[in-house]
Amino acid sequence: MADIEMEISIPTDNNGYVLLQCPFCGEYFKLTPDDYEDEGILDIFCPSCGLCGENFITEDVLELAMAMTKNVAMDMIYDAMKKWEKQFDSGLITFNAGKKPKPEPENPIQSGIEALTIIHLPCCQRTAKIKPMLKFTGCYCPFCGVKEYEPE
């Protein structure tokens, strides 16, 4: 069986963004790990309320990350077991992988997060993913806290 490396990190989405949540207003938004971990970025501002927080990785997000990581690992284990099933099939030993384990629910926040839209912050030359609604109401730049009224 192949080694399964378990690394609990916040999974990125298809566009390479990680999910963050404002500790003050609960707003979800996404930044690229490059920007989030950039040493030049000292504070992250919530695009919705404009407050800057210490930690935008909340328990909800961590829980979701754990569920997603676990599901990936479970799939890998199940696939490996399925392979064993085939290998042992012809021999005397029978091995049954059984039913595929039920994935951990990645909801309820998952669906809301998927609807986030990429914006370009001209002030910082960076991008973020925010709720489409914030494009109309204006949002705060997560990197400098400046209010952008018409983010692209």
Core vs surface per residue 76-101: b (16+ CB within 10 A) or e: eeeeebeeeeeeeeeeeeeeebeeee
Which range binds Zn ion by CB under 5 A, 6-14, 83-91, 97-105, 121-129? 121-129
In sequence order, which residues have a C-beta less than 8 Å from that of residue 143 and are 6 or more positions away?
35, 41, 44, 45, 121, 123, 124, 126
24 is an interface residue for Zn ion by CB under 5 A: yes
x-marked contacts with Zn ion along 27-66 as a string, rule CB under 5 A = x------------------x-xx-----------------
- How far apart, in Å, are the Cα atoms of 131 and each of 4, 69, 115? 35, 24, 7
95 is an interface residue for Zn ion by CB under 5 A: no
* Least distance between Zn ion and beta carbon 58 (Å): 11
Q: Give whichever of 13 and 43 is closer to Zn ion, judged by the CB atom.
A: 43
Q: Give whichever of 27 and 35 is closer to Zn ion, judged by the CB atom.
A: 27
* Least distance between Zn ion and beta carbon 93 (Å): 57
Q: How many CB atoms lie within 10 A of CB 9?
A: 9
Distance CA 47, CA 70 (A): 30
Q: Give whichever of 57 and 144 is closer to Zn ion, judged by the CB atom.
A: 144
What does the binding site for Zn ion look like in residue numbers (CB under 5 A)? 22, 24-25, 27, 46, 48-49, 121, 123-124, 141, 143-144
